[in-house]
A = this chain, B = another copy of it.
Amino acid sequence: MRKRFIDKLNGFSPLSAEETAALADATSNSRKVAVRTDLIREGDRPGPVFVILDGWACRYKILPNGTRQVLAYLMPGDCCDLHIGLLAEMDHSIMAITPAVVVTVERLAMDAILDRHRGIAKAMYVAQLVDEGTMRAWITSMGRRTSVERVAHLMCELYLRARNIGLISGPDLALPLSQLLLADSLGMTPVHLNRVLKVLRASGAMVIARGTLQIKDPYKLIQIAGFDDNYLHRRLRQAA
């Protein structure tokens, strides 16, 4: 299960055998987390860095008026911000949206790893840059894409990310996201999201049903979304 995290980092910047071993060592102590548990809440003082080994989680904020905005999805291999411990308090919460397996790495241990293993540090910096790129893509979606484009774009992203970490190989992805959650990610109401899904289904591009995303026509979906995968930064600078 740790494999996914190590593989993901290795994909960003090649790791030595020693570094792989160090990572495996640091992430050996995992724990299970129940669905809908907050890993950390807005206002909390950040503790150790954690890494999702299995299951999905999301970052989110609750507004004064009670509405919720989902800010990002965390899939196996993703981790929360490296230097989170420098902050006095969290500006958002993180919640498990499936039963999940999580490992926590103490701040000092994390610092030691980053210091000692430059390859790991480099890979994790890239991972962070990708997360930032993803946030920018979300801002762009919310600001300048129609609701149909927005949904298509998110599905392209989630599909590619899942594929990049080897979660899937075929055209289908197990999506443990309720329409309510998706609506809260995309800045729309559940009712409207449902209608958008119907449009996409009718277009023949994709279907979401019974917790599974089926991409029927990848080319069409990408075209609808105006999707460009550059922000996921898979092709990396060679001579870095």
Contacts and interface: CB of A to CB of B under 8 A. Distances in A.
B139 A138 contact: yes
Q: How many copies does the complex hold?
A: 2
Contacts of A17: none
Nearest to A121: B83
Interface in A181-240: 184-187, 226, 230-231, 233, 235-238, 240
A144 interface: yes
A65 interface: yes
A136 B92 CA distance: 8
B81 A129 contact: yes
Given A91-B233, A92-B133, A135-B139, 16 more contacts: A42-B230, A69-B139, A81-B132, A84-B129, A86-B125, A86-B126, A86-B240, A88-B233, A88-B236, A91-B231, A92-B136, A132-B132, A138-B139, A142-B143, A143-B185, A144-B187
A55 to B, nearest CB: 22
A67 interface: yes
Contacts of A6: none
Nearest to A226: B64
Given A125-B83, A129-B84, A144 B237 contact: no
Main secondary structure of the interface of A (DSSP, over half): mixed
A132 B85 CA distance: 14
A187 B13 CA distance: 35
A71 interface: yes
A87 interface: yes
Top 3 nearest A-B pairs by Cβ distance?
Answer: A143-B187, A142-B142, A91-B231
Contacts of A87: 126, 129, 233, 236-237
Given A86-B126, A88-B237, A132-B132, A65 B139 contact: no
A21 to B, nearest CB: 23
A69 B65 CA distance: 27
